[in-house]
Amino acid sequence: MRVNAFSASAAVLLVASGAFAASHRNGPLLLEDQTANLNDFYIFRSWEQGHTSSVVMSMSVQGFQNPDNGPSYYKFSNSVLYRFNVNNSRGLDGNPDMQIDFVFVDTIAPNAPFVSYLGQITSIDDPGIYLKETYVVVIRDLATGKASFYFNDVNGHVLSVAPPNTGPNGTPNYEQNLGQPSIFTLSNGMRVFAGPRDDAFYFDSGATFDYLNFRAPAPVLSGAADQGQGAAYPNAVDGFAGYNISLIAVEVPIDMLTANGSVPTDTKDTNAHIAAWATTMRQQVTVRQSPNDPAQFGDYVQVDRVGNPLTVELLIPLGMKDYWNRSLPSNDQQFAPLISDPFFVDAVLKGVYKLNVPPAPRNDLLGVYVPDITRIDLTIPGIPNAQQSRLGPLGGDNAGWPVGGRRPGDDVVDIGLRAAAGVLVSGFGVAPNNELGDGVNSNDVPLLDRFPFHAPPHAGYLHSQENGTNGRGTPTGQ
C-alpha cells in the first residue's frame, strides 16, 4: 500500500511516542537548561584540501537561536563542561578511551556599556567586544591518565569564541573578519572552533507536530520529490531555516584517534572503526547566593548526551527521556527492549498503516543504537558537499550516516524514518518503506567545504526564515 495521508488517530499515537524527528528539545528538564541542551552531533572524514587525513567532530547546543536577539546574544555557559567522547577499543562498547573537553570563561570589560558589542566589529580582538568569551581545551587519554591543556593556539593567541553576526554594518564581511579567524590551530595539530553558526539540521517540524499534517507529496516521496532539491516554501517548510546554533568543532588527525596510532586503509582492520558522542556536564551542587553570582561545587555529572540522531526523539518514551540523557552509553543495554521493538514501528507503521516491517527483535536498530554512539569507518574518504547523497548509504554514499559517521548535509530524518520501516533489512527496502520522508531535502543555506563546515550564522539585520526552505535561504558573510 501507499501512505498518502495520515489519520488523526495515527497522529495521536505518533506524537505520543515522541514522533520521529529531532526537535532540539530532548527532555522535560532540558527545557530549563538550554545552554546544556545538545541538539546534534557530527563526526566525519574531512574533505577539505590539505586536511583529508583528519576527522571532524562537532556538537551544537541551544537550538532555535533568533539571529537578532540583542543586546545580550547567545553564549556558552561558564558552568557547563562540553565534552567529545571517543571510543576506539573493546569492540566499541560505549566506554570512552579519549575525551576532548571545552571549558568556557567570560570576561566583561570594566568599561562595558549596556551592550555586549558596540560599534563596527571587524576583528576577533576588536575593542568593541565588551563580553569576551574564551575557552580551554583539555585532551584526556583515559588509558594513561594523561591530560593536556590548551589555552592558546600555535601563535599564542587565546582561544576565543566567534562573535555574533549582527549584520552588514555591525559585523561587515563576517566570515572573513570574524568566522574564519576564530578557527585556531593547537600545538598538537588539532584545529578548533567555537561560536554561532547556521543550524544545519533541516526538517518540517511544524507539519510533524501538527498531528503529522504533512504537505504533499510528503510523507511518500518519489521521483523528483525524493531526488531533487525539494519543493519551495510553502509546499515544504523547514522549521529550522533562518535559525542559528552554538557550535563547538574540533578537527583531529586520524592517527590521534585510533588505538594504535595508525591511519587504517583496510576496513577489516579493527582500528579502522571508532565511535564518538557528545555530552554536557555540570557540577553536582549550585549555590545561589543572591545578589552575588551562583557558585558551583562537587564532581561533574552528565546532564545531556547525543550520539546518533533521533534516538531520544524516536525511541525513548517521554517519561524516560531525562533519565536516558543522564545515562552512559555503556549502560544502554537497559534500553534494548524499547529499541528492538519500537512503539512507533509497531503501533503506527505496522498497526495503523499496515506496512510490512521487520518483526521484533529489530537487530538492525540495535546494531545502530545500542550503545548509542555514532560509528565511523575511517577508511571511507570524505566527499565534497556537491557529490554527497543526502540519504548516505541508502543513496549509495557510505561516507554518510550511519556507516561513515554523520555529516551536516545528511538527511537524518528521511534516513531514520526509512530505517524504522526496515529498509536496512533484506526484503523490506521496497516502496513505500524506502520512499518515506518529510519533504525537506536540504539545508536552507549552502554548507561549507571547509572547517567547521557549518555555514556562517544568519545575520540579525536580515536573515531567511521558513521561506528559505530547501536551499533558498539568504547566505550571510560567506
Q: Dihedrals φ, ψ of 380, to 5°?
A: -90, 115
The confidence score (pLDDT) of residue 9 equals 39
- pLDDT, residue 208, reads 84
* Residues in Cβ contact with 4 at an 8 Å cutoff, skipping those fewer than 6 apart: 220
How far apart, in Å, are the Cα atoms of 305 and each of 62, 169, 224, 233, 380? 13, 38, 36, 33, 26
For the chain, report the end-to-end CA distance as a whole number of angstroms: 45
Q: How far apart are CA 25 and CA 466, in angstroms?
A: 19
In single-letter form, the type of residue at position 54 comes to: S
Angle at the Cα of 442 (from 31 to 430), degrees rounded to 5?
Answer: 100
- pLDDT at residue 354, rounded to an integer: 81
Q: E strands of 125-272, at which residues? A: 131-141, 146-150, 184-185, 191-198, 244-253
Under DSSP, is residue 232 helix (H, G, I), strand (E, B) or coil?
coil
- Round to whole Å and give the CA distance between 373 and 308: 6
Question: How many C-beta atoms surround the C-beta of residue 149 within 10 A?
Answer: 10
Q: From CA 150, how far away is CA 167, in angstroms rounded?
A: 32
Q: By the 8 A CB rule, do 266 and 379 touch?
A: yes
Distance of CA 209 to the CA centre of its chain: 20
- Write down the pLDDT at residue 23: 59
- For the chain, give the number of residues: 478
Predicted local confidence at residue 25, as pLDDT: 74
Instruction: Tell me which DSSP letter residue 26 carries.
Output: -
Q: Along the 478 residues of the chain, how does pLDDT read in single tens digits?
A: 333 433 333 333 333 344 444 557 788 999 999 999 999 999 999 999 999 999 999 999 999 999 999 999 999 999 999 999 999 999 999 999 999 999 999 999 999 999 999 999 999 999 999 999 999 999 999 999 999 999 999 999 999 999 999 999 999 999 999 999 999 999 999 999 999 999 999 999 999 888 778 899 999 999 999 998 899 999 999 999 999 999 999 999 999 999 999 999 999 999 999 999 999 999 999 999 999 999 999 999 999 999 999 999 889 999 999 999 999 999 999 999 999 999 989 887 888 778 899 999 999 999 999 999 999 999 999 999 999 999 999 999 999 999 999 999 999 999 999 999 999 999 999 999 999 999 999 999 999 999 999 999 999 999 989 999 999 998 887 6
Is-contact 238 444, C-beta < 8 A?
yes
pLDDT at 20: 44
Give the pLDDT confidence score for residue 308 in this predicted structure. 98
Closest CA to 164 of 61, 246, 59, 102: 246
Q: Alpha helices of 153-304 — where are they, by DSSP H?
A: 174, 205-209, 224-227
Q: Provide the pLDDT for residue 138.
A: 98
Number of Cβ within 10 Å of residue 108's Cβ equals 10
pLDDT of amino acid 19 = 45
Give all strands (DSSP E) within 29-116, no chain letters: 38-45, 54-65, 81-87, 98-108
Q: Which three cell numbers stand for residue 341?
A: 521493538
Region of residue 385 (phi > 0: left; psi between -120 and 50: alpha; otherwise: beta): alpha
C-alpha closest to that of 83 among 280, 258, 323, 244: 280
Q: Using alpha carbons only, what angle is made at residue 287 by residues 285 and 292, rounded to the nearest 5 degrees?
A: 150
Under 8 Å between Cβ of 371 and 93: yes
**C-alpha distance from residue 385 to each of 289, 372, 450 (Å):** 50, 26, 10
pTM of the shown model: 0.95
Smallest CA-to-CA distance from 61 within 86, 105, 25 is with 25
Give yes or no for a contact between 57 and 101, defined as CB atoms under 8 angstroms apart. no
**Strand partners of residue 43:** 57, 406
